[in-house]
Amino acid sequence: MSPHLPAMPSPDLAAALATLAARLPLAEPPAAALAAEAWREAFRPARLRLLLLAESHMATSAAELACPLRLPPGLDWPVPAGFVRHVYCPAYGERALVPDLPVHNAGTPQYWQLLAAADGGAAPTRAAVPDLGARLAARAALLHRLRARGIWLIDAALVAVAGPGGARAGARLHAEAVRESWRLHHVARLPGFDPAHVLVIGLTVARVLRPALDAAFPGRWRAVPQPMGAARRPGQGAALLATVAAAARAHAPAD
């Protein structure tokens, strides 16, 4: 086993991924989904107040997962797993940190804008912070602040339903991955964290999970568009970020 992979995945998570792999044509090996969950867990708050429930990480191949990360010394960023296409992995979107990656690594800067909105500050994107070291330090500090405030970004689908270059699962596969991830794993876990509010990032995710969300978080959740889609519609991107910022102020205020 790679030293970067979670050594002892929780039995329920491992079982859920095995079931999903048996039922669905996955876009990545189960090891990549385990690694993505390890990155999410690394930033789980001690007390969850605002849950940001997104769609999924981006598909990561076995070859990509095995690529070594070349992080600068002294970076205050936990490294629980290898490379995955998720915003919690510092090398996602940063070619210099994983130069052996066999395909492009564009990242999703829209999610840094969303997380910065929750924090109430400027987004540490490549355009805003051109220097790599300064950008990584700013991102690490942002993630630590959000964790301290009780804000956590996770994904509804344990397995990737999208990949690099805009590839996406079909509607039936997407819905089944989201629905089964909830049934097999999330339903027994997320309600117990008792967040004050849940912001579902993705209207399709909200449609698939509406009955489950109503049962788990009655009167405590709302849905917003995906940031990538919202950015293409006049005014919707700004409205999304304003909604995220307001939810963070209301339900996870800074000390």
- Please tell me whether residue 234 adopts helix, strand or coil conformation: coil
Distance separating the N- and C-terminal Cα atoms of the chain: 41
Q: What is the pLDDT of residue 242?
A: 96
Q: What is the pLDDT of residue 165?
A: 66
Q: Across residues 3-16, what is the average pLDDT?
A: 58
Q: Across residues 190-198, what is the average pLDDT?
A: 97
Q: Across residues 11-27, what is the average pLDDT?
A: 84
Going from the C-alpha of 181 to that of each of 2, 5, 55, 90, the distances in angstroms are 25, 20, 11, 25
Structure-derived torsion over alpha carbons of residues 147, 87, 6, 151, reported in degrees to the nearest 10: 20
Mean predicted lDDT score pLDDT of the chain: 91
Q: Across residues 234-255, what is the average pLDDT?
A: 93
Per-residue pLDDT tens digits for 50-85:
999 999 999 999 999 999 999 999 999 999 999 999
Q: What is the pLDDT of residue 228?
A: 77
Separation between Cα atoms, residue 91 and residue 84, nearest integer Å: 8
Question: Is 239's pLDDT higher than 60?
Answer: yes
Confidence class of residue 11 from pLDDT cuts 50, 70 and 90? Answer: low
Question: Is 12's pLDDT higher than 90?
Answer: no
Per-residue pLDDT tens digits for 199-228:
999 999 999 999 999 999 999 999 999 987
Long-range contacts of 78-82 (CB under 8 A, 24+ apart): 78/42, 78/43, 79/4, 80/4, 80/6, 80/38, 80/39, 80/41, 80/42, 81/4, 81/5, 81/6, 81/34, 81/35, 81/36, 81/38, 81/39, 82/2, 82/4, 82/5, 82/35
Separation between Cα atoms, residue 197 and residue 98, nearest integer Å: 36
Instruction: Specify which residues 168 forms β-bridges with.
Output: 162
Q: Which amino acid is present at 221?
A: W
Contact by Cβ (8 Å): 135, 116: no
Question: Is 7's pLDDT higher than 50?
Answer: no
The residue among 141, 107, 92, 136 whose CA lies nearest residue 121 is 141
Q: Which amino acid is present at 48?
A: L
